[in-house]
Amino acid sequence: MVKNIAVIRGDGIGPEIVEQALRVLDAVALRYGHTFHYTDVDMGGCAIDKYGDPLPETELQKCVESDSVLLGAVGGDKWNDVPAQLRPEKGLLRLRAGMGVYSNNRPAKIWKQLSAASPLRQEIVDKGIDFIIVRELIGGIYFGEHKTEGGVATDMLRYSEAEIERIGRIGFETARKRGKKLCSVEKSNVLDSSRLWKQVMHRLAEEYPDVALSDMLVDNCAMQIVKNPAQFDVLVTENMFGDILSDEASMITGSIGMIPSSSLGAGSCGLYEPIHGSAPDIAGKDLANPIGTILSAAMMLRYSFDMPQEADAIETAVSAYLDDGWRTADIMSEGMTQVGCRQCGELIIRKLREEG
């Protein structure tokens, strides 16, 4: 197959982690006889420096016209003082909205090789951590009206039934393919938008009798994620709750550098990115962990290109790399061998070749 991939290297460690993911994709293309064309797209701080805009329309267009987008990371202290409309993060939000990717899938899974890295007590970890947060990505308070006037700041949180229903369906479908347990997370004891959320989820539940739906208030959920993460299979929640809970969920796996994500809308064109940030403090030092980006590329193969075998091959190679005791600095522990970003990519590619 021939696929066109828009590549956003971005800021900080973005370029170096993306480089390794592209090398892994090239190795997959070679092994399975595919052709991947890459088109570079400027977004984030680097685009602010170049065009005075974190995502010019021409750059967004390249993404919309691609078969999928691979993104490293954007942002950094350098752009902290630019006006809100021009922040690197604004580019990311515009990209998500422009691509219409309303469904963000963030897995929280502990790698058996890294279970000691979790900050949770071992007995909690041993019960297993393997759940997915399905986060609504282009609605809610992120995209409501923002204004500051006369010393009063307002951010509007609104959701329509249609917006809730389409993300709800993704939650049910995701659960259906896994453990058949869906937990809908909201704040219906306080917010109207959450009461509507809950109503829509229960209406949908009638169409998915094979999936067990439960409700949880977001504050309780934050607590349950550290108390008993094994209870969760799939969580579905609105934009800002999902932002916060997914950071918490990644932390308990002990390796935020390893976690990929996918964002999809109505079509097959998706946005794939690691969930970590641009880590400017270690940028350019060959210290970053490229695995979150490499696994995001694997998700792209699985969900947008319908290449499950190729995706499995990457995930197996990553696991074999960890089995051999190689670790980037972020997950380094006693008795393991430390490697840099580039060598990590190389070792994973070597594993891929050995598999084939």
What letter represents residue 185's amino acid? V
Residue of 42, 243, 273, 310 interacting with Mg ion (CB under 5 A): 243
CA distance 84 to 96: 17
Decide: helix, strand or coil at residue 80: coil
* Cβ closest to Mg ion, residue 11 vs residue 243: 243
What letter represents residue 187's amino acid? K
Select the residue whose beta carbon is closest to Mg ion and give its number.
243
Is 77 one of the annotated active-site residues of the chain? no
Residue whose C-alpha is closest to residue 183's, from 174, 193, 192: 174
Q: Which two tokens stand for residue 340?
A: 């840099």
Stretch that binds ligand IPM, among 37-45, 58-66, 85-93, 204-212 (CB under 6 A): 85-93
Stretch that binds ligand IPM, among 17-25, 43-51, 89-97, 123-131 (CB under 6 A): 89-97
8 A C-beta contact, residue 225 and residue 249: yes
Is 351 one of the annotated active-site residues of the chain? no
> Contact between 238 and ligand IPM (CB under 6 A)?
no
Is 187 one of the annotated active-site residues of the chain? yes
Residue of 243, 262, 303, 352 interacting with ligand IPM (CB under 6 A): 243
Residue of 19, 89, 286, 312 interacting with ligand IPM (CB under 6 A): 89
* Cβ closest to ligand IPM, residue 6 vs residue 101: 101
* Cβ closest to Mg ion, residue 10 vs residue 345: 10
Is 62 one of the annotated active-site residues of the chain? no
DSSP 200-247: HHHHHHTT-TTSEEEEEEHHHHHHHHHH-GGG-SEEEE-HHHHHHHHH
Please pick, among 102, 142, 303, 321, the residue that the annotation labels catalytic: 142
Is 81 one of the annotated active-site residues of the chain? no
Q: Which two tokens stand for residue 287?
A: 């210290």
Please pick, among 159, 243, 272, 321, the residue that the annotation labels catalytic: 243
Question: In sequence order, which residues have a C-beta less than 8 Å from that of residue 312 and are 6 or more positions away?
Answer: none
Question: In sequence order, which residues have a C-beta less than 8 Å from that of residue 152 and are 6 or more positions away?
Answer: none
By CB under 6 A, name the binding residues for ligand IPM: 89, 92-93, 243
Name the residues annotated as catalytic: 142, 187, 219, 243, 247
By CB under 5 A, name the binding residues for Mg ion: 243
